[in-house]
Amino acid sequence: MKTILIVDDMPENIDILGNVLKNYKLSVALNGEKALKIAAGPNPPDLILLDVMMPGISGYEVINRLKKSEATKNIPVIFITGLWEARDEAKGFELGAVDYITKPFEPEIVLARVQTQIKLLDQQVALRQLNQSLSEKNVLIEEARVKANKLLQNILPKSVIQDLELYGKTEPKLYPEVSVMFVDMIGFSKLSMMIEPTLLIDELNEIFTAFDDIVSTYECERIKTIGDGYMAVCGVPSPNQKHAQLIMCAAIEFISYINNRNKNIPPGRHPFEVRIGINSGPVVGGVVGTRKYIYDIFGDTVNVASRIENHADVMRVAISEHTYNLVCNDYEFENKGLIEVRGIGNLSMYLLDDKYVKYLY
């Protein structure tokens, strides 16, 4: 039930209004000072009927003080007045009154004016509740969007995500100079037949998460994992002149991580070994699929990197001649001679000297 404060210094006026508004909870003040105390008290009214002409402070001064206080400024005020000149009505509205009731009182008019303001109050409450509900839903939507964006970042580069958000698509692009790395876990397939699947996936997840951290450190992008295989690139989707040097750093840290893990492996875990192959050159990058987005890279550069990895020695970083020409001044290599790449022919392969692999963790 809404509470109405009647402010009037004439008891007979209070009695009349009390009878008209008997279905509401009423409080009374015979002067402006008392009205201000009630309005600012622990149980403020929902609506104030305020006489304009009173001894002490006038109704105009009362509403002026009400509107200046944060605690009372939103309480609607209907003026009660015997004055019916335009300038008095305008002054009341300027000060913040929502309506006027003139003396002598017409019960139907008084009740209609009050009911209108009560309905407006109810609508305002409903609107605030709706806004609050919408605000809470917007927070949940934003949290869901951020969560989805984080999940997307695990499978798509950030620039591709931005294109999809802005344009709903991303165009394939040629990258003339990048470096591609393939990593294969040796003996993983055999081990998968010997231990619990949950433990196996847990170990693979642990290793690939460490790889993800490493490639991120060296400005590379994981493109995908294929079973126990891991593929990364540097120079896509953001071109990088040091793509070969950066992906070499990542490869060295991969083997260093595996070495350190095997040396300090906790009980219940299994040692692993890897082969790594790297090639440099042009690729085409783009999103494949419309229902399930997969960002991938294509071209002979990718195929050669995969073949290099197939011919690499265990726990060694193998690179193609193209990559060798880019990093030969930074590292020492062993020339492994020619390997045959189907559809391309014989290619030179080089193995990074073991001395660069250290316990970095």
pTM for the model stands at 0.61
What's the pLDDT score for residue 191? Answer: 79
Q: What is the identity of the amino acid at 181?
A: M
Is residue 324 within 8 A of residue 314, CB to CB? The reply is no
The H or E element containing residue 66 is helix 59-68
Domains 3-127 and 169-356 equal at CATH topology level: no
Listed by start position, the domains of the chain span 3-127, 169-356
Averaged pLDDT of the chain: 88
- Residues 194-238: pLDDT tens digits? 888 888 888 889 999 999 999 999 999 999 988 889 999 999 988
Q: Which residue has the tokens 């984080």?
A: 150
Taking the C-alpha atoms of residue 1 and residue 21, their distance in angstroms, rounded to an integer, is 12
Phi, psi of 144 (to 5 degrees): -65, -40
CATH number of 3-127: 3.40.50.2300
CATH number of 169-356: 3.30.70.1230
Residue 360, pLDDT > 50, answer: no
- Residues 134-178: pLDDT tens digits? 988 888 888 887 887 777 666 677 777 777 777 767 778 899 999
Residue 270, pLDDT > 60, answer: yes
